[in-house]
Amino acid sequence: MNEHLSTERIIDFVHGELSPADDALAHAHLAACSDCREAYEIEALLSEALRSAAKAEELEMPSLVTAAVWDRIRQAKPSSASRLAAWLRPAYAIPVAAALLVGGFFASPLAHRAGPTIDATYYLEAHAAQAAQTPLSERSSSLVLETSMIANPTSSAFVDASADGLATTGAIDDVR
């Protein structure tokens, strides 16, 4: 390779930025050409001088820089957006959502779909009617008795029972 290396090529060579093939060519040329070698050494020394000059005046970062950074951060206040975001974090959001869901359910008509209401008159009438049909049940017998007593207050059972003050017991025994 007889052609001299351009300064640009030498600079790229110094910085290791030539392709492997070009790097090998430049290397071979520098070994053979003293003019280019001198130019290369100048470039290499310039890089070296820049590095050593920088090293010679290397500074520590003043502590007031660190202090000023922390100072600005200490003054930080959460924005309304970040407060909202904090509330939307799962740790808060899941219990809150669950509470709202449960509360919402009981407040809604869904919670009151438990069936029709029965008023007291209906209950008494229906129950009495049922009891009349099943006279052998213990509970129904007293009802039957009471009903019959109302129907016939002069029955002997009623009179006897009321005489010894054990109206209910006597009446039940009597029926048995």
Partner 1 sequence: MGEPRTPLEPPSPEQAAFLERAMTQYGKATYNFAYRLTGNESDARDLSQDAFIRVYRAWRSFQPGTSFLSWIYRIVTNLYRDELRRRKGRFQEEIPEDNAPQEFSGQRPLAVTPIEDYVDRQLGEPLSRALAQLSSDQRQVVVLADIEEYSYQEIAEIMGCSIGTVRSRLHRARALLRRLVERARTQQER
Q: Does 19 bind partner 1 (CB under 8 A)?
A: no
Using the rule CB under 8 A, which residue among 20, 21, 56, 107 binds partner 1?
A: 56
Q: Does 59 bind partner 1 (CB under 8 A)?
A: yes
Main-chain phi, psi angles of 105, to 5 degrees: -65, -45
The distance of closest approach from Cβ of residue 117 to partner 1 in the complex, given in angstroms and rounded to an integer, is 56
Tokens for 126? 């229906």
Q: Which amino acid is at 123?
A: Y
In 57-119, which residue ranges form alpha helices assigned H by DSSP?
Answer: 63-74, 80-87, 90-107
Q: Please tell me what DSSP assigns to residue 123.
A: H
Total binding residues toward partner 1, as defined by CB under 8 A: 46
Binding site for partner 1 (CB under 8 A): 4, 6-8, 10-12, 15-17, 35, 38-39, 41-43, 45-54, 56-62, 64-66, 68-69, 72-73, 75-79, 82
